[in-house]
Amino acid sequence: MANNSRQQYIDQYAECAMEQMRRYGIPASVTLAQGIIESANGKSTLARTANNHFGVKGEFNGAYVLANDDKPNERFKKYDNVGQSYEDHSKVLMASRYQKYVGNLSPDDYKGWAAGIKAGGYATAKNYVSTIVGVIEGSNLYKYDQMVIEQAKREGKKIGSGDYRKGEVSASTAQAAAAATPNGLYSLPLKRDEFMLVTSPFGNRRDPMNHSRTQFHKGIDIGCRNETLLATENNGKVVGVNHNANTGGGKSVTIEYNRADGSKYQTTYMHMSSIDVKIGDAVNAGQKIGVSGNSGTRTTGPHLHFEVKTIAADGTKRNIDPAAYIAEISQKGGLSQKLLYNGKDLLASYKAANPLSTETPSVAAEQEIDTNLSPDEWMKKILSSEDSGLGMTPGGDPVIEMAMTLFTSLMALAVQIDNKSEEEKMQAATDAAVNRQIDLTSLLPNMKECSLSLSTGSPLLTVDNGSVRFTHELTNAEMTRIQQTLGNNDLSDDEKRRSVASMVNGIVVSQQMSQNYQQGVEAQQSQQEAVQRK
C-alpha cells in the first residue's frame, strides 16, 4: 500500500515539481522527493487540512493552521491548493542561505542540490541527504529532471530564468494539483487510497443521542478528522450553505448535479468545521468545498455526515442510500476505492446490481465483498489505514506493530468472552479502532474499570480497582508477555483471560506500592519541613 501511495503521489504532483524546476531551476526530483517525505505521500495532517506539503510555517494570505512542532500550537501556512504550496517552497529555497551552496549547480545535479539544501540548514537529520537521494533513485524521479531539460532545449529556453518565471503558476500545475480522479470527472467526497470507513450506514439505527429509541439515518457517517471535503462531479452548483454551527447538522453545504433525463442529484455535507464555497458557485469533481469537523448539536465526534437526495423531473424528492450514489460515480469514474462498514464493502451489491458497460475489468474485480475478515483483522485494517492517523503501516516500526497486534488481540478476546454475535463483534472492532480504546472490564471482573487505549502507538492501560486509579504505559517486556499468552493456541479463552488478569493485577500491585512509597516520602518531607519551621 505504501508503494502504491507513493506512486499515486508522484503521478499527481510530478507536473507541479517540473514546473517549479522550469521556473526556479530546482531539480524536479528533489522537490518531488521532499514532498513525498514531508507530506507522507500527501497523507499528513498538514497536507490534508492545509494543502501544506513542505511544513512551511507562518501565514499565507492571512490563513494558517495550528500544529505542534518545535513548540506547541505553531502557525503553519494554509494554502488554497497544492500548487501554491509547491510555489512557496521554491521561493523558500531561493533564499541566499541555500543559494550560496546550490547557485552554481546544474538543475539535474540532484545529489549536489540535496547536499546544498542540507548545508543551508533545511534539515538537521544526519541522513537527510541519503534519504532524499534514496527516494529519488528508488522511484526514478531523476527522469523528470531530464524531461524538463529536454523540453527547454526544444523550446530554446533557459531553466530557472524569466523565460519560465512569468505570471502565476500555470493551469497545468493547478490542474495537476487538483486532480482527484483517474479521469477527472468524478471524485469521492474524501481523498482515500483504499477505502472510506463508514461508522454508521443508511437506514434504521439506534439514535446516538438517545439510545432508548431508534431513528432513520438519512445518510452515512464517514470517519474523518478535519479533512478536505471534495465535490463529487463536474458542473455542480452550490444550492445550500449553512454557517450556523448550532443546528442539528452544524455547518453544511448542498451541491446539485443535473442529469440528462431532467432529474437531479443533491449531495449534502454536514458537521463541517469550515466552508469554502457560497450559494451559486459552480464546482467540479475534486474541488475543495470545505473542511470536515464536529459542528452541530447532533454529533458525538468528528465525522462527515453525507446525504444524497434525488429530485425527479416532476420535482419529487427522495433520500437514497449514499452508497448507491457512490457506487454509480465510482463505476463511471473508474474509482476503485471501497466503502467499508464492519468489514463489508457497501458498494459491492449496488455495483453488481447495476453494472455499467463502460466499467473496466479492474473496477469489476473490486465488487467482491470480503467477508472473511475476523474482528481483530478488521480492526487492524482500520488502524493501519489513513483514517487512523497512527501511521501503523504493516512492516513499519516493530514496536508499533507489536502494540497494534496486542491491541487487536485483546479486543478479540474481550468480545469472545462477552459472547457477542458476529455482527456485534465487528461493530465492537469498529468502535475500538475509531475510538482507539477497548474496554477490558470483562476480562477483569474484579476491577471497577479497566481499558486499553492507543494514542501515539504506545498502549496505555487505565485501571481503577476501587482503591487506586492510574494510567500505565505498557513496556515492551509487558507487551511481549501478554502477547505470548494471547498467541498461545494451547490455552482456552478462559485460561488466557485468567493469565491476562494476573499480569494486570501484578501491574496494579506494583503501581500501588510505588504510590504508597511516594506518599510515604512526601509525608516524611512534610514532617521535616514542619520541624524546621518550629
pLDDT of residue 361: 35
What pLDDT band is residue 517 in, cutting at 50, 70 and 90? low
What pLDDT band is residue 399 in, cutting at 50, 70 and 90? low
CA 271, 276, 282, 285 torsion: positive or negative?
Answer: negative
489 pLDDT exceeds 80? yes
pLDDT of residue 1: 40
pLDDT of residue 527: 63
The residue among 514 and 10 whose pLDDT is bigger is 10
| Rounded average pLDDT over 214-229 | 91
Residue corresponding to grid cell 501515539? 456
Cβ atoms < 10 Å from Cβ of 410: 22
303 pLDDT exceeds 80? yes
Cβ atoms < 10 Å from Cβ of 444: 20
pLDDT of residue 526: 64
Rounded Cα distance, 135 and 37, in Å: 8
* Whole-number Cα distances in Å, 8 to 146, 182, 392, 461, 524: 21, 10, 19, 38, 63
pLDDT of residue 522: 60
505 SS3 class: helix
pLDDT of residue 516: 67
CA 92, 95, 100, 102 torsion: positive or negative?
Answer: positive
The string of DSSP letters for 210-229 reads -TTSEEEE-EEEE--SS-EE
The residue among 225 and 204 whose pLDDT is bigger is 204
* 427 neighbors 411 (Cβ within 8 angstroms): no
pLDDT digits (tens, 9 = 90+) for 386-396: 565 444 444 45
Predicted TM-score (pTM) of the model is 0.56
Rounded Cα distance, 486 and 491, in Å: 8
416 pLDDT exceeds 50? yes
* 239 neighbors 255 (Cβ within 8 angstroms): yes
Cβ atoms < 10 Å from Cβ of 363: 19
pLDDT of residue 25: 93
Eight-class DSSP state of 448 = S
Per cent of the chain over pLDDT 70 is 84
Rounded Cα distance, 13 and 20, in Å: 11
pLDDT of residue 359: 37
Rounded Cα distance, 472 and 450, in Å: 11
pLDDT digits (tens, 9 = 90+) for 7-26: 888 988 888 899 899 989 99
Integer-rounded Cα radius of gyration of the chain: 27
- Of 190, 218, 356, 376, the closest CA to residue 289 belongs to 190
pLDDT of residue 231: 94
pLDDT digits (tens, 9 = 90+) for 129-144: 999 999 999 999 999 9
The string of DSSP letters for 143-160 reads HHHHHHHHHHHHHT--TT
CA atoms within 13 A on the CB side of 361: 0
Rounded Cα distance, 53 and 65, in Å: 13
Residue corresponding to grid cell 444550492? 239
- Of 408, 400, 413, 456, the closest CA to residue 432 belongs to 408
What pLDDT band is residue 237 in, cutting at 50, 70 and 90? very high
pLDDT of residue 116: 94
* 393 neighbors 419 (Cβ within 8 angstroms): no
Which grid coordinates belong to 45? Answer: 495532517
Lowest mean pLDDT among 160-169, 266-275, 383-392: 383-392
At position 141, the amino acid (one-letter code) is L
pLDDT of residue 356: 55
Which grid coordinates belong to 197? Answer: 470507513
Q: Please tell me the total number of residues recorded for the chain in this structure.
A: 534
